[in-house]
Amino acid sequence: MYYGGWGHANVVELNPDMTSLGTFPDGSTYKEITPENYTEGSFMFKRDGTYYMMWSEGGWTGPDYSVSYAMSDSPTGPFRKIDRVLAQDPAVARGSGHNSILNVPGTDIWYIRTTDASFASGANGVHAGTRKPSQAGAPGAAEPVARFDNASVRSNVFTFESADAPNRFIRHAWSRGRVDADVTPYADMRWKVVPGLADPAAVSLESVNFPGTFLRQRDGEVWIDQRTDDAGFRADATWRRVPGLSDRSLVSFEFFGSPGLHLRHRDALLYVEEVTAADRPEATFRAW
């Protein structure tokens, strides 16, 4: 059993009756396994023989309240922090902590459930559950907001389906950004979501099958190009993640270099343009 608080995490072994404590081989009853920046909220799960420990860190209800994780080959550690897996989305709530994990039986799909302090209610303990591995919304919040980054424990790799064209996904073909159905190879439509090259508070989309190349605008058209250290390239390959223009439970991408312009598809090709009310579905995407 894993428990803790006030900066300390412990593990104990339960006897078969599940109500009394046993002892470890060294004769001890308790072992401290506190990882870096631990505050409270221990949660453990096992995947492919590896133990994943998750916990809350920062001050609850504060902007730094978040969920991090560590990995170990042993259920008693040592557990060394790897990264933060869930952080506050200011459009939804204050803080994101006290999570649990659910696995779809027979699959490698994992869902995270967390606790927020809702802006709408002003109360603590309003739950935000992932509806898909890549989306989370807070019941009671003013409006749900897509939070695909860090919402999946499995990875930060996603596909983006057009809201107005089911089964058509953002992909690259001969370096041009497109929206197509029945994409072959499948990896052409998979994108690694990373901190924005020009602003870490935004995002950049790196091609999975061409590492080091990023979705970027070029004279209003959208292509994938090899990353350079040029400031202009970094701005061209950075996007602000915003609530979907046609459905706020989905996501749209505002161009970092020119606020008000958005990523949209037209005649199967991707562009960065001003979007009219009628065109909003073409600039709205579902993250998977």
Domain ranges within the chain, ordered by starting residue: 2-137, 157-287
Residue 132, pLDDT above cutoff 90: no
Answer whether residue 197 shows pLDDT above 90: yes
63-74 pLDDT, tens digit per residue, is 678 888 888 889
Residue entry with tokens 């057009």? 162
| 85-101 confidence digits (pLDDT tens) | 777 655 455 666 778 88
Q: In this predicted structure, which of 24-28, 152-156, 247-251 has the lowest mean pLDDT?
A: 152-156
Q: In the prediction, which pLDDT does 194 show?
A: 87
Q: What is the distance, to the nearest Å, from the Cα of residue 244 to the centroid of all Cα atoms in its chain?
A: 16
In percent, how much of the chain has pLDDT > 90?
A: 45
Choice between 106 and 231, residue whose per-residue pLDDT is larger: 231
- Other beta carbons within 10 angstroms of residue 269's beta carbon come to 15
Instruction: Mark 180-189 as b/e (b = at least 16 C-beta within 10 Å).
Output: beebeeeebb
Are 213 and 227 spatial neighbours (Cβ–Cβ below 8 Å)?
yes
The pLDDT of residue 95 is 66
Give the pLDDT mean for 257-268: 94
Contact 139, 128 (CB under 8 A): yes
Interior angle at CA 58, CA 130 and CA 133, nearest 5:
15
DSSP letter at 140?
Answer: T
Cα Rg of the chain, angstroms = 21
**Residue that wins the pLDDT comparison between 106 and 188:** 188
Closest to 44 (Cα-Cα) out of 32, 54, 57: 54
pLDDT surpassing 70 at residue 145: no
Task: Flag whether pLDDT at 131 surpasses 70.
Answer: no
Q: CA-CA distances (angstroms) from residue 264 to 24, 147, 169, 234, 285?
A: 58, 19, 12, 20, 9
User: In which element (H, E) is residue 205 found?
Assistant: strand 203-207
Output DSSP code: residue 95.
Answer: E
CA distance 224 to 189: 12
Strands of the sheet with 2-5, listed across from one edge: 2-5, 8-12, 30-32
Report the share of the chain in percent with pLDDT over 70: 81
pLDDT band at 115 (very low <50, low <70, confident <90, very high): low
DSSP for 48-89, please give it. TTEEEEEEEES-TTSTT-EEEEEEESSTT---EEEEEEE---
pLDDT at 123 over 50: no
Q: Region 182-191: what's the mean pLDDT?
A: 89
Instruction: Identify the pLDDT of residue 149.
Output: 37
pLDDT at 106: 82
Residue 58 confidence class, pLDDT cut points 50, 70, 90: confident
Distance (Å, rounded) from C-alpha 85 to C-alpha 156?
10
Is 70 in contact with 46 (CB distance < 8 Å)?
no
- Annotation: CATH topology of 2-137: Tachylectin-2; Chain A (2.115.10)
pTM of the model: 0.51
Residue with more model confidence, 158 or 21: 21
Class at the top of the CATH hierarchy for domain 157-287: mainly beta
